[in-house]
A and B are shown apart, each in its own frame.
Chain A
């Protein structure tokens, strides 16, 4: 069975006054029917651009899009605008980070839901209004018949995100892209929204792409996880693999910076030092090397490819450290050792660059 959505070597660059921005730099992934893919990365890692490009929403004079996005036998990077419009909100729907600003403040919630339906199908006003109320009920909004006639400002943040989800579901999409769906919400509400998405998926059978900077968000919901850094996928595997045998130092950093309640000792949180790289003037070699605690001289020159961790395995990583060293470092980190204390594992393997750790230099 071929995947629902297949992205192949996608590259998106923006020409700006400051230079060429490499927002997405040759990424490939696929999503199967009914499955959930989590795309994880910091802001500016290209995760949102990827999904907006899938919907044809990054097309502009200063944008160059290469590669292929295969959907239903057609390449969405080159599909005509007419075709894209039929895909948007119909086959593929999207919800956004900030539900407070994502709904039009001047139109009633019901009107906005009806518009979503009437754009893609012949449906009477009355039937659309009925269905709008049903959708609100489906996403767990109490008193939907009254709420449907209210304006967005009369809803709380979490309720507005439910409205956004209802709107995305209006045409029963095959794929739902959720771009940071919980970032702007309270922690308790976050869990509710994630549970709702999970529940809706099992009931409606749609595939979901969850884009987030928070590995915690995808831990429960995703089947597969792709970690993005500076416009590239640097690690890709099943949720199980990424959480239990992470391979990339950046992924380790993400995992170690999540507070955990289930660990025995009072483990210290270890932030990833430094800042995300500029997408205009990108680092040489491995893009992560300026922030990597385990950097070697060669990493500044050689650009790693995304390769299978072991032959025939689906788990892929783009890292120049030898697999054995990687697993020893992760085991050390897991038992609470600091990145600096594990650096000798790299030294034993090879001559390390005679430079201090990024973490020691200080910002």
Chain B
């Protein structure tokens, strides 16, 4: 097990190096605004652009720039400085992380609380009216893009522009430590919007898994033991049907921790996702590079955690 984890961690490093290199290459080969020109003001002259270029290190060959960057990350955990704000990227990301974590964890709680019970009930009452309704509704929730759902939510329910004033509107995000009440209120609508498609997807996934599991021989054994149906479903059925969900959950959290770009942008939440968006808009390579690396890091770590967790969930799996 330990050897397995070490081997996987080494692969994580390899993967992150590859991801950062690919981001570098993409940034330089694809047409994008010249970062130096963007910063040279309204009437740029070649000398000014050249000096900005020199200051940002953009006049060096790309492999030199990449080498400097990697050296900085490994030796000093330094992700460079934002072209736009001249701040350390590391600090910028760490400042943005609490908002992203708040959004992700809150939404996860919502989608699990909704998705799992709905999935179980639909499976147990499969083909009933309730099942047909929830599965129809879930199809809608999966199909609705999150930015559309977010805008509609704001248009209908936001305090400022909404038809009915229920939730705090866009751009009201407050830190948890600053004011827990405002924090909760400002994130409620984003949580619901972000969780909608996930809840629907989890409900459908659990439903189909559970229906399949409930026809297994060991479920018949559990019933023949004289267990209550409730126990048969929850302890025997769901126990098996939930395992694929754990995998998906790990990956989803990893992805969202890297930034829920659309949700954060629609609701103007200062998270990592919106930082990435701003970086792209401003051709701010260090910020793009930093957020991409962070996202990749969360995803591969989530992957690793899921794989290790699987050994605990399913006793048949052993790593060597």
Contact = CB atoms under 8 A, between A and B. Distances in A.
B236 interface: yes
A120 interface: yes
Given A104-B236, A105-B240, A106-B314, A87 B221 contact: no
Given A103-B221, A105-B218, A105-B240, A119 B316 contact: no
A87 B227 CA distance: 11
B68 interface: no
A88 B218 contact: no
Nearest to B315: A151
Given A106-B240, A106-B313, A153-B316, A96 B221 contact: yes
A96 B225 contact: no
Given A105-B240, A151-B316, A57 B220 contact: yes
B30 interface: no
A78 to B, nearest CB: 18
B53 interface: no
A106 B239 contact: yes
Nearest to A116: B225
Interface string A153-171: 1000000000010010000
Contacts of B97: none
Interface in A87-115: 87-90, 93-94, 96, 98, 101-108, 115
B216 A101 contact: yes
A119 B224 CA distance: 11
A21 interface: no
Contacts of A55: 223-224
Contact of B226 (A101, A119, A153): A119
A57 B229 CA distance: 11
A119 B230 CA distance: 13
Contact of B218 (A89, A103, A119, A151): A103
A85 interface: yes
A153 B317 CA distance: 10
Nearest to B239: A106
B217 A115 contact: no
A108 B228 CA distance: 20
Interface residues of B, number: 19
A86 interface: yes
Nearest to B316: A153
Interface in B198-229: 216-218, 220-228
B68 to A, nearest CB: 51
Given A96-B217, A96-B220, A153 B315 contact: yes
Given A105-B315, A105-B316, A153-B316, A89 B217 contact: no
B224 A104 contact: no
A224 to B, nearest CB: 23
Nearest to A115: B225
Question: B221, B224, B314: which has the most chain A beta carbons within 10 Å?
Answer: B224
Given A151-B315, A153-B316, A101 B227 contact: no
Output the residue of A90, A104, A116 with the most chain B CB within 10 A.
A104
Interface in B277-320: 313-316
B220 A86 contact: no
Contacts of A90: 226
Given A105-B316, A153-B315, A153-B316, A98 B226 contact: no
A94 to B, nearest CB: 5
B225 A104 contact: no
B313 A88 contact: no
Nearest to B217: A101
Nearest to B236: A104
Contacts of A93: 224
A225 to B, nearest CB: 24
A96 B316 CA distance: 22
Contacts of A167: 221, 225
Interface in A37-62: 55, 57
Interface of A: 55, 57, 85-90, 93-94, 96, 98, 101-108, 115-116, 119-120, 151, 153, 164, 167
24 contacts: A55-B223, A57-B220, A57-B224, A85-B226, A86-B226, A88-B223, A88-B224, A88-B226, A89-B227, A90-B226, A94-B224, A96-B217, A101-B217, A102-B218, A104-B218, A104-B221, A106-B240, A106-B313, A106-B315, A108-B315, A116-B225, A120-B226, A153-B315, A167-B225
Given A88-B225, A105-B240, 16 more contacts: A55-B223, A57-B220, A57-B224, A85-B227, A86-B226, A87-B226, A88-B223, A88-B224, A88-B226, A89-B227, A101-B218, A102-B217, A102-B221, A105-B218, A115-B227, A153-B316
